[in-house]
Structure 1
């Protein structure tokens, strides 16, 4: 785990040296030396990563490196905190505290020097015990190899009679593999997390009568291990079709490819390559298979979606988790070995099956354990709520996937265990937290957001993270991890002081953890917690699983008092009713994320936190933000209430928000146009126009017009959301929304508008936009009698890139379009457009269309779509 902690400490130290050099006056030399030594340590950790379980002294050295890295971080942060605190004081207080301050700084500087001495001793120990990192680098550890061997033994002994839940999967894939109309060489891939049953399904397909009849005797099954090289895989395949001589086994890879090609020439073959890990190995092996247009097939299984051939017309087959009925069927077969389950165990048995969350590996392992236990309700009930604790072998198997991760993905994956079990994790939130923790660094012209999204997609592709929900445009909205993987994360991270969880089930944690999560289910646990034990904490994620609102006296005030070095503070679950002014004491805070808060005011001290990069305040804050917000030069993400206003910008100030990329919830007012102009790097912008009866519509229209002109000059803008809100008045005033300034922006791909009286003129302006991919329009017109219904017509060439179109509560009477309009449309959503009775015929000619989802529509449109449902190429969902 040191090879996770040390790189993070090193990245943070480099950032400090680069941006906060003025705070290191007096210790510059020691810090530079420390940075250099940490880089050498990091290099050693990379080369020693394979043999720690076999060399006790190596593990001891690694633990020492981890501890000294953490000590160095504490020493530097303490030194900087003392400097910053002194600079905040006024002149009289500075004079009063100067003696103690100087003494403290001297002590901190000595501590940094002592740490450098400690690093020298570590290197001396390394030489004394003859530990050389270059001699230790291997491809995998012995533990991994043993787990993989056990896994392959289990696979070879698969009892097909016990296979459940794969009937439809088997039928689908067998049909695909034996399709006699397609004679091209096809590669079919089964993708899923470890233990999901990929091998079991592949074995069932391999042994099916249809497959045997189609490919006769030219079939091969090859187990591909985690460390397999191209040559060994080629030899294993050849060994299935011929006797491999010693001479052949000595041939180089290119000659072996030719040998395999000659062996399979003009034969219709079927080859299964089970559990491929390495994309490069697969691509090299693939070149050896001849394509003679005779219907040959290759079936591969993998935990990694990236292994699936990118140029194959057959999309990867993503294996799903078992449903409850199939889970219980499999568990009962394993637990009772063909005997019937007693009636008194059915209910508790189904509860145990459900707790496995559809993962066949968990179910099979649990069934084997229960098979050797007494078949009584008393015994079985002891497993309820504690299943994963008995599945250590399953976690060991999944460890293979974790160990295969590249170094930059490991902390991102482990971090997910800080969220509660079965929690749907917001992608927006977790990527901000990753960035704040230092896991994600910008590279070249790519932003941290682009890289963080790529990291998440890589974890999904490796079957370690599940997609819980997607946006209509296909992007991931929320994600989650299986309980067994979450237990793996907890085990891997907690033993080395990286991540810790405080909950009702886990109360004896080490106080030296850096990243901590609080998941208590009762009010008393929060109020009684001793926050004074957490002086080393850098991240606190707090989830309110109770039914109470907690006073800040129990949470925020103790945090501000005892965890002054914290960088990340995330509070979720209707927890906080007010934010104390003491939050200004968290001088290193980078990310403040409060979700579903109950506070209405903000202390000005928040905006004195110069390191803040992310502010997400999800609560009804009606006040204007303090002027200190303009001094937050590192701010990258700002989300506030839709009623929150920014203060007037000082005329002498240049560009205060040069780093701001996300601005969400800004209320349009007199200074909005100027504020937007001072944020040249905005990528995502969400504006609110709040109308109240004591403000004239003319003033609002002028403000909006000026704001739109400023938006049109944002050359990096990718997403724009606008919402018109009425506050304190039933009188609905219509204000002109000029969209023309948006047209020049070629990067703008997402537009979302909530606006009354959205009409044909607005639609025509948006239709000309060259790059818009997602358009969401919501109005109130359909409920207003004085608004006339209108017709829309989309001509050829309009909306050239549009993929997602959502229309809600629009008063559209007829919709016509020409062939060639909206050529890229994939998803159409219509809700509460009651005047619309028909969709244009040309819609169904769009070859990219995948989903039409409608709700609260006219009777005529409902009948039309229901008639089309059975014969349509795309999915049609009608909610009446």
Structure 2
């Protein structure tokens, strides 16, 4: 709707004027008028938010949306021609300025007519019954209340209500030894009952993990392909280097992988009986107690896959419904007595559907906790519930415009996918969806938006980072359906795939391309109005398809994301994307990248995964003016990239993320050019002189905003790096080190007094020697997570008041660890997780951890012990 479109168009117009002060020379008056009109429209839309049920107002809002998109088209067309003419001659440039000034003038007149209509309606709002929104905006909330209510609330398996009996029954069916034949167990129920949540809880249960030699989880969904499904299962057991095998070959390969093993395969969200018919032959039955667990909304699927009656998931009763709602709204706090009865009525109105309760809980959590607000909600909730899918609109409608845009954007990702949050935030920023003033980091604002969406249960946390932040998120199918419906109606985005190629709306501003076929080659993209292209591939050769895109290049594209594709080269035609801000090339096999990639004038985000060790060309400095994020991951320990000598002049203050960089004689000078870095990844080679190491570490000390620092460091440089750690910026919150052979234990002493350090990760490859680790009182005052991998430590001792805020203690591949100081661990009431993983776990350590688990105070600490080869 216009609430979403207008702010984005306004932000892009302002940014274009900021980047190119002289670009709009000669038409500045028209552009200023358009900008002023857009600001006025933005205010009007906010004031009229409560009257969208009026058909007259709805039609006006649609006209405003189309006018805003028209403004964007004309300005982009004008700017593109001016930029191209700059490459030619001055006369051509002036000609096009004059011509497009006339076009802009015409659009300004059109916008003025719309604004006259808006102003007339607003001045006569009583006549037309136009009032202001009944619900307060986020900006109007009390600061203290808003701060409390925006706490992150993750929908975790441990928070599930009413599944105790279901869990016990299903686990017994999975691990009992009475029936040793391969058995298929099904969970059946309507959407939103929590089938996947229950299955995930069971899948992670320690009894299940320890019972089966190997496990795999695969999401099937409505659009499924046998080959993709089989590949997803196989990837749980082995690395797949060649994905060109046929489905029949994959079945044989999977069957061979599972032979002789007791396995558990979870197939989540099956809609068709054909799925089981297609893949059942790949799962051998060797009478060893192997199991397949299926979740489905279709009873025929459950009956078809197994003679055993399905486990029908029931709706929650009134007591469990209220308990779940209370958890979602108050998260550990007591419900005020005057709200209890109203809360029970609201919970009852949800009809026992967990998804409905979670969504209502997320909405209520963001509202004022008052009898009046809840009383009004009781009156409305039944209406929305009776309207079926419209109930989901209740949560959506309560979002402010900036959150609506971010929420809808998640619908661009494939169904049931786990979305990398860091990538998502870069895409949000590149799209202009994050509004930030200069006093607040744009990353902080984006993370706040994410937390608000989680708080309102619009999206779910899939995995967390060690510091408690969100690593990946996911969206329920019903909410994704809402995203797609709203986006197509408002031209926010559309998708292209085998099943919906005909419905593609050429006016959509964003296009998600996935599951594409040869038909795509004949699909004319040249007339599309898209500003963003997101590709989701399957690891196959997409060279012909990509060449089709380059042939019909989208000259106005701002965001281009290529994921999971294989193609020979990115040709020079890519330089036609003169407005490109965000370029992601991730998990792609690319033989050649054109040098044009370093010529984009407005590039802010550049994410490249290239299997090459190369010197970045001097042209990289031409894109550094606006670049905020430069990330080339995946090859940090095998060689990534390094910079040429930076040019003289002012520093590049926009860059905040820089990873990974190979240290050379230019690195210290390069780092000095980026004073506002928040995240830095460096790799030191053996061949680097110690003087260069000193220079680099000295330059890092000046990075006052640095929060996350990752190092790949050979043994011979550890001492020099370690002695400089005590001088690292005080803002540092996360430090990661990977080294080999011998770990310099003095490093820990230098890090122990960092006042804000919250996450410490140490990885030693091919460690030699045995050590005893002791942490002194007062060390690591803010540390929340300690992850040690490959260290040959025998004992870990902690004095009183050492690591007082420790929440997670993780050992991986530390196979000589025999003793943890149990009494000191018990003193840490914040401790939530102790995890030990390796080829062998000493019996003494198992005894210590068992004793600790039995004695740990409430809430109990999770103790995970896994004996397996850690990759």
Show the counterpart of 1:303: 362
**Compared with structure 1, are the counterparts of its residues 59 and 26 closer, same or farther at alpha carbon in structure 2 (3 Å cutoff)?**
same
Check the 8 A contact 1:601/1:623 in 2, yes or no.
Answer: no
**Compared with structure 1, are the counterparts of its residues 584 and 206 closer, same or farther at alpha carbon in structure 2 (3 Å cutoff)?**
closer
Check the 8 A contact 1:275/1:300 in 2, yes or no.
Answer: no
Distance 2:574 2:321 in 1: 62
In the alignment, does 2:763 pair up with 1:778? yes
Shift of 1:830: 0.4
In the alignment, does 2:618 pair up with 1:618? no
Distance 1:447 1:16 in 2: 20
Q: 1:475 aligns with which of 450, 469, 479?
A: 469
Which secondary structure state, in structure 2, belongs to the residue aligned with residue 36 of structure 1?
helix
**Compared with structure 1, are the counterparts of its residues 716 and 46 closer, same or farther at alpha carbon in structure 2 (3 Å cutoff)?**
same
Q: 1:587 aligns with which of 578, 587, 605?
A: 578
Show the counterpart of 1:510: 505
Aligned pairs (5 A) from 1:725-744: 736-744=719-727
**Compared with structure 1, are the counterparts of its residues 111 and 869 closer, same or farther at alpha carbon in structure 2 (3 Å cutoff)?**
same
User: What are the superposed Cα offsets for residues 79-135 of structure 1, whole Å, 9 maximum, x if unpaired?
Assistant: 111221222x2xxx427xx44x54433332111111111123224545788984574
Shift of 1:46: 2.1
Shift of 1:456: 0.5
Show the counterpart of 2:58: 59
Compute the RMSD of aligned alpha carbons.
3.6
**Compared with structure 1, are the counterparts of its residues 271 and 8 closer, same or farther at alpha carbon in structure 2 (3 Å cutoff)?**
closer
Check the 8 A contact 2:759/2:785 in 1, yes or no.
Answer: yes
Shift of 1:748: 0.1
Which secondary structure state, in structure 2, belongs to the residue aligned with residue 554 of structure 1?
helix
In the alignment, does 2:708 pair up with 1:719? yes
**Compared with structure 1, are the counterparts of its residues 39 and 422 closer, same or farther at alpha carbon in structure 2 (3 Å cutoff)?**
same
Which secondary structure state, in structure 1, belongs to the residue aligned with residue 415 of structure 2?
coil
Which secondary structure state, in structure 2, belongs to the residue aligned with residue 771 of structure 1?
coil
Shift of 1:432: 0.6
> Which sits farther off after the overlay, 560-569 or 750-759?
560-569
Aligned pairs (5 A) from 1:391-406: 393-406=387-400
Shift of 1:21: 2.2
Aligned pairs (5 A) from 1:185-264: 201=316, 203-204=318-319
Aligned pairs (5 A) from 1:664-703: 664-691=659-686, 696=687, 699-703=688-692
Distance 2:2 2:675 in 1: 40
Shift of 1:829: 0.2
Which secondary structure state, in structure 2, belongs to the residue aligned with residue 12 of structure 1?
helix
User: What are the superposed Cα offsets for residues 461-505 of structure 1, whole Å, 9 maximum, x if unpaired?
Assistant: 001101111112211100011111001011111112111111122
Check the 8 A contact 1:441/1:448 in 2, yes or no.
Answer: yes
**TM-score (structure 1 length as normaliser):** 0.69
Distance 1:300 1:435 in 2: 26
**TM-score (structure 2 length as normaliser):** 0.70
User: What are the superposed Cα offsets for residues 700-748 of structure 1, whole Å, 9 maximum, x if unpaired?
Assistant: 43333321221122110000011247xxxxxx86654423433342110
Check the 8 A contact 1:795/1:818 in 2, yes or no.
Answer: yes
**Compared with structure 1, are the counterparts of its residues 664 and 275 closer, same or farther at alpha carbon in structure 2 (3 Å cutoff)?**
farther
Check the 8 A contact 1:711/1:741 in 2, yes or no.
Answer: no
Which secondary structure state, in structure 1, belongs to the residue aligned with residue 473 of structure 2?
strand
Shift of 1:843: 2.3
**Compared with structure 1, are the counterparts of its residues 742 and 206 closer, same or farther at alpha carbon in structure 2 (3 Å cutoff)?**
closer
Q: 1:427 aligns with which of 403, 421, 444?
A: 421
Distance 1:532 1:751 in 2: 47
User: What are the superposed Cα offsets for residues 354-383 of structure 1, whole Å, 9 maximum, x if unpaired?
Assistant: xxxxxxx9xxx9xxxxxxxxxxxxxxxxxx
In the alignment, does 2:112 pair up with 1:120? yes
Which secondary structure state, in structure 2, belongs to the residue aligned with residue 848 of structure 1?
coil
Which secondary structure state, in structure 2, belongs to the residue aligned with residue 679 of structure 1?
coil
Check the 8 A contact 1:600/1:622 in 2, yes or no.
Answer: no
User: What are the superposed Cα offsets for residues 132-157 of structure 1, whole Å, 9 maximum, x if unpaired?
Assistant: 4574125469xxxxxxxxxxxxxxxx
Check the 8 A contact 2:572/2:595 in 1, yes or no.
Answer: yes
Distance 2:735 2:749 in 1: 14
Aligned pairs (5 A) from 1:331-410: 393-410=387-404
Distance 2:322 2:656 in 1: 55
Show the counterpart of 1:254: none
Which secondary structure state, in structure 2, belongs to the residue aligned with residue 877 of structure 1?
strand
Shift of 1:751: 0.3
Show the counterpart of 2:738: 754
Show the counterpart of 2:6: 6
User: What are the superposed Cα offsets for residues 528-552 of structure 1, whole Å, 9 maximum, x if unpaired?
Assistant: 3322132x2111111114x52211x
**Compared with structure 1, are the counterparts of its residues 83 and 835 closer, same or farther at alpha carbon in structure 2 (3 Å cutoff)?**
same
In the alignment, does 2:844 pair up with 1:851? no
Distance 1:115 1:596 in 2: 42
Structure number with bigger Rg: 1
In the alignment, does 2:584 pair up with 1:563? no
Which secondary structure state, in structure 1, belongs to the residue aligned with residue 794 of structure 2?
strand
Shift of 1:414: 0.5
In the alignment, does 2:113 pair up with 1:104? no
Which secondary structure state, in structure 2, belongs to the residue aligned with residue 779 of structure 1?
strand
Check the 8 A contact 1:194/1:397 in 2, yes or no.
Answer: no
Check the 8 A contact 1:600/1:621 in 2, yes or no.
Answer: no
Show the counterpart of 1:345: none
Shift of 1:417: 0.3
Show the counterpart of 1:153: none
Distance 1:133 1:627 in 2: 59
Check the 8 A contact 1:274/1:300 in 2, yes or no.
Answer: no
**Compared with structure 1, are the counterparts of its residues 608 and 464 closer, same or farther at alpha carbon in structure 2 (3 Å cutoff)?**
same
Structure 1 alignment gaps of length 5 or more: 142-163, 172-192, 209-220, 226-232, 239-268, 277-298, 311-360, 366-390, 726-731
Structure 2 alignment gaps of length 5 or more: 136-159, 168-190, 198-313, 330-334, 348-357, 370-380
**Compared with structure 1, are the counterparts of its residues 169 and 33 closer, same or farther at alpha carbon in structure 2 (3 Å cutoff)?**
farther
